[in-house]
Amino acid sequence: MQIIIKEEFGLQKDAIVEEIGEGAIFIHPTDTIYGIGGSALLNDIAKEIRNIKKSYKQPFSVIAPSKQWIRENCIVPKEAVEWLVKLPGPYTLIFKRKKQNCVAEQVAPGLNTLGVRIPKHWFSRAVEEMGFPVITTSANITNNDFMTSLENLDVEIKKKLDFIIYEGEKKGRPSKIIDFTKEKTEIKER
């Protein structure tokens, strides 16, 4: 398993993007914490990330390539527009999907909703250049502490990764969740 820093990512970007498109599973930084990622278009990858996390039902969020992608693939109600304007930022916005096939079934099994993020972080620009959504879910086994540095990355997770994009210790908390799929908008801190 390779550890890649930002500068190396920049130099190897085309090869890394190709790896992700072909099914690499990796850890990526965000503006909040580290996430486990992979192409959100590949059902087998979403299923493997579920196995790694031991999370079989909870939906995953994605880093969207752009706000335009969100508008094209999700139903954005009027009350969500002010939140969409806040992106990039430390928010996960949950919308009903316009297009069910915008992500693989295993990203949000049995649901017609999708959590989308655009972190205020350089990695979001890389996802924008990729042009497809990337799964983002906390880098931990369900109900365990999330990864803040290489020192506390779960050994079981580490064994199953293709690479880690690493930028040192993260001191953030998971993103705030704003759910627009209910009758009344719900805001949850994690």
pTM (2 d.p.): 0.95
Tokens representing 65?
A: 């390539």
Write out the E strands in the chain: 2-4, 26-28, 35-37, 61-63, 74-75, 91-97, 113-117, 134-138, 163-165, 176-179, 186-188
Q: Are 30 and 23 in contact (CB under 8 A)?
A: no
CA-based torsion, 93, 99, 103, 109: positive or negative:
positive
Count how many Cα atoms sit within 13 Å of the Cα of residue 151 in the half-sphere of its side chain. 3
**For 2-188, which CATH superfamily applies?**
DHBP synthase (3.90.870.10)
Task: Name the residue ranges covered by the structural domains of the chain.
Answer: 2-188
> What 3-state class would DSSP assign to 3?
strand
**Is 174 exposed, middle or buried (CB count within 10 Å of its CB: 0-12, 13-18, 19+)?**
middle
Give pLDDT, residue 4: 96
d(CA 16, CA 12): 6
pLDDT tens digits, 36-85: 999 999 999 999 999 999 999 899 999 999 999 999 999 999 999 999 99
The tens-digit pLDDT sequence of the chain (190 residues) is: 899 999 999 999 999 999 999 999 999 999 999 999 999 999 999 999 999 999 998 999 999 999 999 999 999 999 999 999 999 999 999 999 999 999 999 999 999 999 999 999 999 999 999 999 999 999 999 999 999 999 999 999 999 999 999 999 998 888 999 999 998 999 888 7
Give pLDDT, residue 174: 86
